[in-house]
């Protein structure tokens, strides 16, 4: 009898955790924008730890290459390229 109650409580807890995970995933996906990066496109790089009044993005930079691993190489200056994850890139729509 006790093991049946314990199993029922575990199933209920597992279901609630799965429901919370699905809600968190839906909330995170709602903030994302659909964008296909391509070589030659312009992007802004996100600065993750700026000081108080600094800008949070740098750029625009031209994308030199896109990798299948979710990384990209941006052309910062004529002979300087920086590799970054696409999570650190924002599409530059205005330039």
Task: Indicate whether 83 pLDDT > 90.
Answer: yes
Q: Which of 84, 31, 29 is nearest to 57 (CA)?
A: 84
Q: Which one, of 31, 35, 32, 29, lies nearest residue 63 by Cα?
A: 35
Cα–Cα distance between 53 and 75 in angstroms, integer?
Answer: 26
- Span 7-58, pLDDT tens digits: 778 888 899 999 999 999 999 889 877 888 899 999 999 988 778 788 888 8
Taking a C-beta distance cutoff of 8 angstroms, is the pair 63, 43 a contact? Answer: yes
Q: What is the pLDDT of residue 95?
A: 53
φ and ψ at residue 45, rounded to 5 degrees: -95, 135
Residue 94 pLDDT greater than 70, yes or no: no
Q: How far apart are CA 14 and CA 47, in angstroms?
A: 38
């Amino acid at each position: 009898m006790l093991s049946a109650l314990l199993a029922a409580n575990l199933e209920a807890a597992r279901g609630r955790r799965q429901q919370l995970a699905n809600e968190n995933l839906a909330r995170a996906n709602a903030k994302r924008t659909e964008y296909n990066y391509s070589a030659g496109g312009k992007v802004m790089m996100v600065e993750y730890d700026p000081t108080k009044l600094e800008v949070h993005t740098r750029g625009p930079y031209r994308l030199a290459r896109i990798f299948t691993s979710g990384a990209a190489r941006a052309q910062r200056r004529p002979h300087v390229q920086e590799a970054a994850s696409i999570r650190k890139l924002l599409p530059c729509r205005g330039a």
